[in-house]
């Protein structure tokens, strides 16, 4: 009996830890702890989770998904009630990935680079904990956009004046942001509660009003470029790749990285010759989208490859970048 209890305890701990990744957690308001209220909250939370994970409301708008939302609790590893009238669901990454695959939904990998957010409130540079940013940060959590904030130190203020910022001077903004080495920069100007925004992603710029709407516009923009499958242009594919590796530690690191990569559905080691590893990969995207996702992680870097490379006899070459 003691062994059974211990096994159950370990299982529960494993489930709770596994589902405790912040990206896969959703909080929603509840009026009580009644089972029927919890079921409704789970349905609402799953819709939000899929919006975050796919970058699209396709799932919520699909009649085929109605039965999924009616049993939303089955996709949660755990749930808990908070002291603020909310329930927190921790969803299963594996369960959601399978759900996305089964229903042909877009998939936007959870490993997303941070967005650098500059803001000016009534002419003053705020701190990251400024109350004026609360709604923006909450919506970024909903959409799965990780945020970073400038230091607003003397170097920042020398590179970017308040006047330049209020004028949405994109060149000055990007110059001031260079030190932070992030590909996406967002600017928010808040005046007496009203806000204007602009974001720049690798030279592609958008502008508008209302900071919360700006976060949604940014999420939609990024999802349109990096989500795969579903309604996007990406299709499942396979590829053979060769990665430089000189010792066992690198062998393990590379193998673990590929097996855990969100776009890799299967990974098989074909060859190890002391200098490189050759893998056969099954991907939920095309090779161009796979390479784009690698550029976000900066662990595998494509090398020069001849046209037609990617077969078992002529694999694509990559360079492993150690931490």
The helix or strand, by DSSP H or E, that contains position 148, with its residue range, turns out to be strand 147-148
Longest dimension (CA), the chain: 71
CA dist list (Å): 29 to 38, 59, 215: 10, 21, 22
pLDDT tens across the length of the chain (323 residues): 444 433 333 333 333 334 357 999 999 999 999 999 999 999 999 999 999 999 999 999 999 999 999 999 999 999 999 988 999 999 998 899 889 888 889 888 888 889 999 999 999 998 777 888 999 999 999 999 999 999 999 999 999 999 999 999 999 999 999 999 999 999 999 999 899 999 999 999 999 999 999 999 999 999 998 888 764 444 678 899 999 988 888 999 999 999 888 788 889 999 998 889 999 999 888 888 888 888 777 889 988 888 878 888 889 999 999 87
What token pair was written down for 152?
Answer: 């607003």
Which pLDDT does position 307 carry in this prediction? 81
This prediction has a pTM of 0.77
Which pLDDT does position 235 carry in this prediction? 62
Which pLDDT does position 33 carry in this prediction? 96
Kindly list the structural domains of the chain, giving each domain's residue range(s) and its CATH number in brackets, ordered by start: 2-102 (no CATH), 115-226 (3.40.50), 237-320 (3.30.1360)
CA dist list (Å): 131 to 135, 190, 255: 8, 12, 44
Which pLDDT does position 304 carry in this prediction? 82
């Amino acid at each position: 009996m003691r062994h059974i209890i211990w096994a159950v305890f370990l299982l529960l701990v494993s489930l709770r830890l596994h589902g405790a990744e912040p990206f896969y957690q959703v909080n929603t308001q509840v009026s009580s702890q009644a089972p029927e209220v919890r079921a409704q909250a789970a349905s609402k939370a799953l819709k939000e989770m899929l919006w975050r994970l796919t970058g699209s409301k396709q799932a919520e708008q699909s009649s085929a998904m109605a039965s999924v939302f009616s049993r939303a609790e089955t996709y949660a590893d755990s749930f808990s009630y908070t002291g603020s009238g909310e329930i927190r669901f921790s969803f299963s990454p594996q369960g959601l990935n399978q759900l996305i695959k089964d229903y042909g939904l877009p998939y936007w990998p959870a490993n997303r680079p941070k967005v650098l957010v500059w803001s000016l409130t009534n002419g003053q540079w705020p701190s990251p904990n400024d109350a004026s940013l609360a709604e923006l940060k909450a919506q970024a959590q909903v959409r799965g956009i990780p945020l970073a904030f400038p230091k607003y130190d003397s170097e920042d203020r020398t590179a970017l004046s308040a006047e330049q910022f209020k004028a949405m001077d994109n060149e000055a903004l990007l110059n001031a942001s260079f030190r932070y080495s992030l590909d996406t920069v967002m600017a928010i100007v808040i005046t007496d509660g009203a806000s204007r925004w602009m974001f720049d992603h690798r030279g592609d710029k958008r502008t508008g009003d209302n900071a919360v709407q700006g976060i949604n516009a940014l999420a939609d923009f990024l999802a349109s470029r990096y989500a795969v499958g579903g309604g996007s242009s990406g299709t499942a594919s396979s590829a053979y790749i060769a990665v430089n590796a000189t010792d066992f530690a690198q062998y393990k690191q590379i193998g673990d990285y590929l097996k855990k990569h969100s776009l890799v559905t299967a990974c098989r080691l074909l060859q190890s010759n002391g200098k490189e590893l050759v893998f056969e990969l099954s991907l939920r995207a095309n090779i161009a989208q796979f390479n784009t996702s690698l550029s976000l992680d900066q662990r595998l870097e494509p090398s020069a490859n001849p046209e037609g490379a990617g077969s078992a006899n002529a694999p694509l070459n990559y360079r492993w970048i150690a931490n």
